[in-house]
A and B are shown apart, each in its own frame.
Chain A
Amino acid sequence: MAAPHETGKGLSQGARNALPLILFMIIGFAAPLLAVIAYSFMPPRSFGLTHAPTLDNYADIFTSNSYISFGWSMLFAALTVALLALICYPIAYGMARLFGRWSPILTLLFTIPLFVSENVRLYGWILFLIKNGVLLGTLKSWFGIEPESILFTPGVVLLGMVYVYLPFMLFPMTLGVSMVPNETREAARDLGASRWQVFREVELPLSMPGIMIGLLLTFVLAVGAIAEAKVLGGQTIIPITHDIEIAFTYAQNWPLGAALAVLLMIVVGTLVMLVLKRFDLDAILGKR
């Protein structure tokens, strides 16, 4: 006894309306992903998708040095996220609770750099940090001291990554902190909690949705970072994204690049899933 307009043609009204978007997603999102997955099973250095599938590329990854790049990427992403969490929480707390009418100005200041290309900003850092550049040049001419440039070290790569991804941690975190109802803080305090206990028992768990979104977002972005290591790091470390790029371009080994990309997706995807399973965002956000 289904409604007449829902039978016959086989597709419901909703499904028909969603059709253009579904097609767009298939062509724009699913197809390239499937192509990459398919390529990862093709023989090394082949360019078609018609060969017999093979696991050679995956075997190559584990016999080559790519795992080192993999490790660098994961390590630097993890360090970036950890540093960002420590740096951004106090700022987020201030923006949500303390700065009042200065918050929008601060938001603007943190947003403006996003309007400039990441590469341009990184080259700006080079000019600032390079030997005889803005920083060291000034120190030399004013104080006569000549410290070593920190450019082209792993540390400066980390600095660059923290700098580039800061807004992506800050804004979700600010949202998270501002979602904590002020009266729950007051109630906890009233019930005898010290400031630290209020933070641990109420503040942190209740702002967790925002914090989690910030952590996941910056981690996923940082794992895919490439420009910081190239520009600032001068290739002292090689992230996995660099290996993928080399495989697709210079080495002309699409299947190897595809296999690396698939592996990266699997590892990052698994991590994200595990975290989301542990912190059920829906449950924390639910009914509020």
Chain B
Amino acid sequence: MSKRPPILQLKSLTKSFGTFNAVDGIDLDIAEGEFFTIVGPSGSGKTTLIRMLAGMEQASSGDIILSGTRINDLPANKRPTCMVFQSLALFPHRTVGENIEFPLKIKGVDPAQRKARALALLDQLRLPQNYYGKSVLRCSGGERQRVALARALAFDPKILFFDEPLSAIDYKLRKTLERELKDIHRETGKTFVYITHSLEEAMVMSDRIGVMCAGNLVQVGTPNEIYSAPKDKFVSEFMGDVNVIPVSMNGSRTITADTFDKTFTVAAIPEAFSKGHLVIRPEFVRFVTEAKEAENVLEGKLYNEYALGSRIQYQVRVGENVFIVEKLRQHSSTLRRDQTVLIGWDAKDSILVTG
């Protein structure tokens, strides 16, 4: 990824509202042709960031550099980039065809060429040709998504920005559209910058992910890097259900839990570590019968179990602490509630994070 030249560079980009920095000095390079996703909870500043990139919000300080040129002061209509909005912002008084042709009409392309391009885009977006004359108001949610994307592609932007366009779509359709979007990314070879609050969505589509929190990029990496080596508690918890144990290191380089009496075996201790969290994914925690079966073992009581489709999640209470254990459905255990169980994991499956 990083071998390709950066198409978009952000240098200590900041957006302040009064004394509050919504975006707080972000440095980032996005490579040409990359599918880059910015993930963060609501209020993390991701929408402000993408609006600055698209030119709808003025940066307070820092630089936005597109293909080597600083574009901070270029208004949205002069930037060779295009955004797909959360609301999609289709023009309700126009047909599907007119919506798609809009950027071409603005550029002054003649009607016959416009129509040919619109029909080609309908085809590319898996929409029937007869949708050309259909009112956008009569399109379904998924069809509108496709029209919005077609309209943005008709503009032929250097970078396409996406502001959570799939957030209001039901699960099944969202999964389909995520895959389609990744296919379109492949077919067009364009740079996509996508923002979402769902790390799951980011994982499916992205080449690289930037996790954002309180105006800062906490971690940038491939989906695999983010998944297997989260940098801190925030990133690891953002991934979904994980077991996070507050721990400290004492003088003899052993890691002990802060809230209960237990010493853990870990694979590696980061440099200058003194206090932090031990993160263990629920799928790496297993039920054991004897203490020697795993490198770390805890005794607890099974509190409840939840069916999560292909997986089953168990909630185990160890004293005041709650641990979650996940198993594939076909490996589900025949455990009863309130039964005393031993849970364990190996050192290599746990991650020690500072934050």
Binding site for B on A (CB under 8 A): 181, 183-184, 186-194, 197, 201-202, 205-206, 284, 286-288
Q: How far is the CB of A201 from chain B (nearest CB, A)?
A: 7
24 contacts between A and B (CB under 8 A): A181-B87, A181-B89, A183-B85, A183-B89, A184-B90, A186-B89, A187-B83, A187-B89, A189-B75, A189-B77, A191-B82, A191-B106, A191-B152, A192-B77, A192-B103, A192-B106, A192-B155, A193-B77, A197-B106, A201-B91, A202-B91, A205-B93, A286-B137, A287-B92
List residues of chain A with CB within 8 A of the CB of B89.
Answer: 181, 183-184, 186-187
Q: Is B264 an interface residue (CB 8 A)?
A: no
Q: Is B102 an interface residue (CB 8 A)?
A: yes
Which of A183, A184, A192 is the one whose CB lies under 8 Å from B107? A192
Q: Report whether B55 and A190 are in contact in the complex, using a CB–CB cutoff of 8 Å.
A: yes
Q: Which 5 A-B pairs have the closest CB atoms?
A: A187-B89, A183-B89, A191-B103, A192-B106, A287-B137
Type the 1/0 row for B311-338, where 1 means its CB is closer than 8 Å to any CB of A: 0000000000000000000000000000
Q: Report whether A184 and B91 are in contact in the complex, using a CB–CB cutoff of 8 Å.
A: yes
List residues of chain B with CB within 8 A of the CB of A190.
Answer: 54-56, 76-77, 79, 81-83
Q: Is B46 an interface residue (CB 8 A)?
A: no
List residues of chain A with CB within 8 A of the CB of B92.
Answer: 184, 206, 287-288
Q: How far is the CA of A197 from the CA of B92 in the complex (A)?
A: 17
Q: Report whether A189 and B76 are in contact in the complex, using a CB–CB cutoff of 8 Å.
A: yes
Type the 1/0 row for B170-198, where 1 means its CB is closer than 8 Å to any CB of A: 00000000000000000000000000000
Q: How far is the CA of A193 from the CA of B105 in the complex (A)?
A: 9
Q: How far is the CA of A72 from the CA of B54 in the complex (A)?
A: 53
Chain B: CB-nearest residue to A202: B91
Given contact pairs A187-B89, A188-B102, A194 touches B56 in the complex (Cβ within 8 A): no
Q: Is B277 an interface residue (CB 8 A)?
A: no
Q: Is B281 an interface residue (CB 8 A)?
A: no
Q: How far is the CA of A183 from the CA of B165 in the complex (A)?
A: 13
Q: Report whether B93 and A284 are in contact in the complex, using a CB–CB cutoff of 8 Å.
A: yes
Q: Report whether A201 and B102 are in contact in the complex, using a CB–CB cutoff of 8 Å.
A: yes
List residues of chain A with CB within 8 A of the CB of B82.
Answer: 190-191
Given contact pairs A188-B102, A201-B102, A286-B137, A194 touches B77 in the complex (Cβ within 8 A): yes
Q: How far is the CA of A183 from the CA of B152 in the complex (A)?
A: 14
Q: Is B151 an interface residue (CB 8 A)?
A: yes
Q: How far is the CB of A212 from chain B (nearest CB, A)?
A: 13
List residues of chain B with CB within 8 A of the CB of A189.
Answer: 56, 75-77
Beyond A188-B102, A192-B155, A201-B106, 9 additional contacts (C-beta under 8 Å) are A186-B89, A189-B56, A191-B152, A193-B77, A193-B102, A197-B106, A202-B91, A206-B91, A286-B137
Chain A: CB-nearest residue to B152: A191
List residues of chain B with CB within 8 A of the CB of A202.
Answer: 91
Which B residues from 54 to 78 make CB contacts under 8 A with A? 54-56, 75-77
Chain B: CB-nearest residue to A208: B93
Q: How far is the CA of A201 from the CA of B105 in the complex (A)?
A: 10
List residues of chain B with CB within 8 A of the CB of A206.
Answer: 91-93
Q: How far is the CA of A51 from the CA of B76 in the complex (A)?
A: 73
Chain B: CB-nearest residue to A193: B106
List residues of chain B with CB within 8 A of the CB of A197.
Answer: 106
List residues of chain A with CB within 8 A of the CB of B56.
Answer: 186, 189-190
Q: How far is the CB of B125 from chain A (nearest CB, A)?
A: 17
Q: How far is the CA of A288 from the CA of B155 in the complex (A)?
A: 26
Chain A: CB-nearest residue to B78: A192
Q: Report whether B151 and A191 are in contact in the complex, using a CB–CB cutoff of 8 Å.
A: yes
List residues of chain A with CB within 8 A of the CB of B91.
Answer: 184, 187-188, 201-202, 206
List residues of chain A with CB within 8 A of the CB of B83.
Answer: 186-187, 190
Q: How far is the CB of B118 from chain A (nearest CB, A)?
A: 14
Q: How far is the CB of B136 from chain A (nearest CB, A)?
A: 10
List residues of chain A with CB within 8 A of the CB of B75.
Answer: 189
Q: How far is the CA of A188 from the CA of B155 in the complex (A)?
A: 11
Q: How far is the CA of A190 from the CA of B83 in the complex (A)?
A: 7
List residues of chain A with CB within 8 A of the CB of B137.
Answer: 286-288
Which B residues from 103 to 133 make CB contacts under 8 A with A? 103, 105-107
Q: How far is the CB of A238 from chain B (nearest CB, A)?
A: 42
Q: How far is the CB of B342 from chain A (nearest CB, A)?
A: 55
List residues of chain A with CB within 8 A of the CB of B106.
Answer: 191-193, 197, 201
Q: How far is the CA of A269 from the CA of B76 in the complex (A)?
A: 46
List residues of chain B with CB within 8 A of the CB of A288.
Answer: 92, 137
Q: How far is the CB of A112 from chain B (nearest CB, A)?
A: 35
Q: How far is the CA of A119 from the CA of B220 in the complex (A)?
A: 72
Type the 1/0 row for B38-55, where 1 means its CB is closer than 8 Å to any CB of A: 000000000000000011
Chain B: CB-nearest residue to A194: B77
